[in-house]
Structure 1
């Protein structure tokens, strides 16, 4: 009996292929390797279980028809090819793998709209169907079993008749739905992904209209080989409309149940909306106190016609310690550590005690920079989308431009208006003793601030699309000098990938700021604007770009910065970056560009780990000034911006 498989022989085969097409995904590894060391590797990862009666084999695949991309895709879809280094268990294991290959290859052909091809698999010269019937394979001692796969892609099919109908539960009749609204157009290539996407969209639209049990109730997919057409008929059962019912919680230990329900913000009696469930999960995950969260819908409505919701959680350990490090040839090394209680009173409150030291290696011990602070955050302070943060701290800063010792505190209320928009208001105070080229002074600043942030980046540590924009303003009053001033700052960074794999990315950043109302001398040196160093203009000394007095940098009342990067991913774990930074600070309230922009250029290396990209940048200043180096090196975690 031949193992030749007609790819559209039956409606059932087509449906099975569509279902399999959604399964062409491999699971990701849990362990990761960094510089030769493997982290988070469990015993199963380190030592795979021994396979009884392993049967080594060699596999080849031959594809007739299609382009190179299709041939590559078929090769990658083949389990026999991809798992050849992992012998299956005896003849049954190899036969099972070959049968799985038929379905995988079938699904991949359907993805390209190919419904008239054939797949032939021989094991040790015997057709697969014969091996299935006998259950045996000709094995020769010391030799690998030869397996050959032959695929004839056949012609591409196009959509023919398309019908989509929605059941009316009351009368049992069906209403037609325009198929073009769901991407199914007669005459277009009959890609299986388009059918699956249409089904998902149909169900999603009905769920968004308050139908929690919407489903595809009937599917007919028929290939006409003579005309090379694929006729599709879909029937959708919307199910009943529903409102949210009671919300219950399971798995919590220390966390208050009412707090979890409040943060989820699912209102009983409101119309069922899957987006409300997604937002609930997102808000609960943002608390950082749960290791896992599942917002589960009941399988049926309750007696009142409402849909009960269960929130299943598992709590993380409350106490955590952590740390980090940065290295720069101009700024030295930086170390930081923290202790954190993630659920202080059982309602998501977070208490952090943090400490850091900076410019290690560039200063004597008595001149190091250091900081310590205590931060208390209360989520849901004034509603599920709000938070309250209080901070007190002390720090010593000692760049080339000034020396500052200060204590400070702040209170901030933030509101997450949407997925991308957040705004905050707050107040802060600081008491400082500061010295620079203009002299020494005491400063006691009290200010009220507002901030707006729009963030549509697809990834915080390694963005490839979207942008982040911030605007900040703070009127402040100095109790010591009686001076009033207004601090403002705005920035935007944008990212655009130029290929589907996101291997080529263009990134850009602009930032500007102004201080209004006071003379330069009356503004604390630590609050003036400077440029230079990591996060600003790479290649230059830290905070060494700005107005000067007697050759010493004193900072400015305004600044402007810009950066551009071209990021190229060479392999899955290695990337290179070319970049240019430019910036300057000015004594005027608005940037007047009276001084030319300082420009730095360089190259960077990225190692993409599961923690985020590790960054190594080498930068050169094009127009260095006093105290600027010939070059600078920066090492850190995440992209530069």
Structure 2
């Protein structure tokens, strides 16, 4: 048989260390150091035996001699070392592309690398000329393929199930990915120490076939054993174990470990979470687990600001005490002031809130929250002062799906176009949320959907009412780099009540402004009496955005918003929709994109501006 066992022989394609940079592994990163005695050179790379410009481009991007030509190495020795490193890199790239009979010839000042090493000084002109000649040879395809396990009870899939198909191009990265998937499958089946024990890869130069045999060693299967915790200071270790939900006695699962890590990280009390399996399975078949955590600072103070031309300037601040009693509790005190600038002190909007949150209140997947808040709102349509006491229990059903139920009592004193009135509402609240976004502040794929319902009774007016609202946002990247993203939002709501007046003004539906229909005055879109907006018992809104990331830090957005609110219980589209259009710029930061939007109302009414400007953190939706 005419064959070459890669890694043991160098004919005719030079062998590459299979555990090195390519094709079956990754090299260690070279430490970046300041260049002493920089030694400039010129370099050309030529490809013979094929007309593939794409292959040449890949070789040039792989070559340090080519890609780093503008950064000279240190001295002649540095140049020769770079050339030696390039030899392995280029052969590895040929393997990745399926060429196993190629040759790579690198010459420095006309000398082979071996000859250059023996020279006391490189001859010829400066900068020193470097030439790279690559002959890829024939393209190889997969031939004989085999995936095996050393344990009969630990089954592995077929080569095809791991992406290795006879007759397809023998891309070496396919072999690497197959190995990773084999090991991942075995670990998911309960074998924590699974590994590839043997890799036999033979290039048959007579048939241009690559034969692959992979042998996996599963090791012992295991069940989760005792879970211990290290690194806690103020936190109760038993609470950490409970929240992790690593069920002792159940089959080992990497997915369970990932979920536990996320669940603990989401508590917000740890700066790092790491779950480490024991070194070996015990005689009882159980594998001990250690949760290593590092606690965050318990006291947090934060401030923020926002501004828009239609809503004015606002500031907010908060103080939070994390891990209040050592089991993840959170105490928050928040305050904000809005509509600063041209308004007098009596016309400022303000809000204050004190809240308590307890995770794991009724099991590790539940969170109890309660809060007391006071607020004054003064949009152009009404003035409302209200105090609200509420309590909720939130339940997670999966990483994407959650629901909460609770109750609230709200007292409101309001003045609007209907006159002065007070309300005392008691309501039962239900809400369900589904969120698959890849990033909460700058999503590029997924959806975010929320549905809300609250039957309530107003003891002052003697009226029953039902508040309902739903909104869904969707995101889709148009390219692999996720530089072009389409985003859409659709929201609607209805209040079943005897009349608009029976509903507290702050609970009615108003449209217009940021987060609604940009370009219009804040809460200035909806039904009117004597030219004044009253708010409605129903609404519908939609937004569409095209987001483009121009550089790593700068992005552009074009958008259109449309919607309206209506006096009727359900939207009456015969009344038409208000439309706003605009564009914006984004500056991407580690904490999310800074947003600047400019919008124009297409069919403005009284008090609407000719244009509006919005500034904030994160995308608009």
What interval of TM-score do these two structures reach, taking the shorter chain for normalisation?
Answer: over 0.9
Task: Indicate the larger mover: 100-109 or 254-263.
Answer: 100-109
Q: What displacement does 1:409 show?
A: 1.9
1:56-106 deviations in Å (ceiling 9; x for gaps): 334534242464544444333333344445554444444443333333333
1:160 has 2:143 as partner:
yes
Query: What's the offset of the Cα at 1:300?
Result: 0.9
Of the candidates 76, 79, 90, which is equivalent to residue 61 of structure 2? 76
Unaligned runs of 5+ in 2: 1-8
Distance 1:73 1:602, change over 3 A: farther
Distance 1:134 1:10 in 2: 25
Report the counterpart of residue 188 of structure 2 in structure 1. 208
State the partner residue of 1:130. Answer: 115
Of 558, 561, 579, the residue aligned with 2:541 is 561
CA 1:226–1:333: 2 relative to 1, 3 Å: farther
Contact 2:23–2:95 at 8 Å: present in 1 too?
no
1:589 match = 569
Deviation at 1:445, TM superposition (A): 1.2
- Answering whether residue 451 of structure 2 is matched by residue 471 of structure 1, we say yes
Out of 40, 45, 56, the position equivalent to 1:57 is 40
Indicate how the Cα distance of structure 1 residues 95 and 548 shifts in structure 2: closer, same or farther if over 3 A, else same: same
Which residue of 374, 381, 385 maps to 1:394? Answer: 374
The yes-or-no answer on 1:373 pairing with 2:353 is yes
Residue aligning to 1:37: none
CA contact (8 A) 1:580 1:599 kept: yes
Aligned 1:542-557 pairs, distance under 5 A: 542-557=522-537
Distance 1:137 1:380 in 2: 71
Instruction: Using the TM superposition, name which of 302-311 and 65-74 deviates more.
Output: 65-74
Pick closer, same or farther for the CA change 1:334–1:9 going to 2, 3 Å: farther
In structure 2, relative to structure 1, the CA distance for the partners of 1:567 and 1:22 (3 Å cut) is: farther
Q: Deviations over 1:270-296 (max 9, x none)?
A: 111111111110011101111111111
What count of residue pairs does the alignment treat as equivalent?
A: 611
SS in 1 for 2:180: helix
The aligned counterpart of 1:494 is 474
Pairing partner for 1:315 from 295, 314, 336: 295
Which secondary structure state, in structure 1, belongs to the residue aligned with residue 187 of structure 2? helix
Is structure 2 residue 610 aligned with structure 1 residue 625?
no
CA distance in 1, matches of 2:188, 2:202: 30
The partner residue of 1:510 within 484, 490, 496 is 490
Give the whole-Å Cα distance in 1 for the aligned partners of 2:582 and 2:123. Answer: 60
1:302 is paired with a residue whose SS is coil
Q: What's the secondary structure of 2:501's corresponding residue?
A: helix
**TM score, norm. by length of structure 2:** 0.92
Cα distance between partner residues in 2 of 1:91 and 1:247 = 56
**Equivalent residue for 1:456, pick from 436, 440, 458:** 436
TM-score, normalised relative to structure 1: 0.90
Question: Are 2:90 and 1:105 equivalent residues in the alignment?
Answer: yes
Alpha carbons 1:541, 1:629 under 8 Å: kept? yes
User: 2:27 and 2:565 mapped to 1: Cα distance?
Assistant: 54
Q: Greater CA deviation, 276-285 or 631-640?
A: 631-640
CA deviation after TM superposition for structure 1 residue 314, in Å: 1.2
Secondary structure at the aligned position of 1:55 is classed as coil
Which of 518, 530, 546 lines up with 1:538 in the alignment?
518
- Residue 527 of structure 1 corresponds to which residue in structure 2? 507
Shift of the 16–26 alpha-carbon distance from structure 1 to 2, 3 Å rule, reads: closer
2:16 pairs with 1:13: yes
CA distance in 2, matches of 1:538, 1:262: 46
Q: Match for residue 101 of structure 2?
A: 116
Deviation sequence 1:347-376 (CA, Å, 0-9, x none)? 111111111111223523321111111121
Aligned with residue 598 of structure 1, among 559, 568, 578? 578
1:280 to 2:260 alignment: yes
Matched, 1:355 2:339: no
Q: 1:420 aligns with which of 391, 400, 413?
A: 400
CA contact (8 A) 1:372 1:394 kept: yes
| Match 1:614 to one of 594, 600, 609 | 594
Alpha-carbon distance, 1:235 to partner = 0.8
Pair 1:369–1:159, CA change in 2 (3 A): same
User: Counterpart of 1:594 in 2: which secondary structure?
Assistant: helix
1:207 Cα deviation after fit: 1.1
CA contact (8 A) 1:163 1:177 kept: no
Quickly say closer, same or farther: Cα 1:444–1:130, change in 2 above 3 A.
farther
Q: Is the 8 A contact 1:331 1:362 kept in 2?
A: no
Deviations 1:207-257 (A, max 9, x none): 111111111111112222332221111111111111111111111111111
1:40 match: none
Determine helix, strand or coil for the equivalent of 2:83: helix
In the alignment, structure 1 residue 438 sits paired with structure 2 residue 418: yes
Q: Deviations over 1:163-220 (max 9, x none)?
A: 11112268xxx97842111111111122222212211111111111111111111111
Distance 1:56 1:14, change over 3 A: closer
Q: Is the 1:18–1:192 contact (alpha carbons within 8 Å) kept by the matching residues of 2?
A: no
Task: Report the Cα distance in structure 2 between the residues aligned to 1:176 and 1:433, rounded to whole angstroms.
Answer: 69
Q: Do the aligned residues in 2 keep the contact of 1:399 with 1:543 (CA within 8 Å)?
A: yes
Give the CA deviation at 1:129: 3.5
TM-aligned CA deviation for residue 336 of structure 1:
1.4
Change (3 A) 1:100 1:251: farther
Unaligned runs of 5+ in 1: 1-5, 28-43
Runs of 4+, deviation exceeding 6 Å: 24-27
Give the conservation status (yes or no) of the 8 Å contact 1:582–1:598: yes
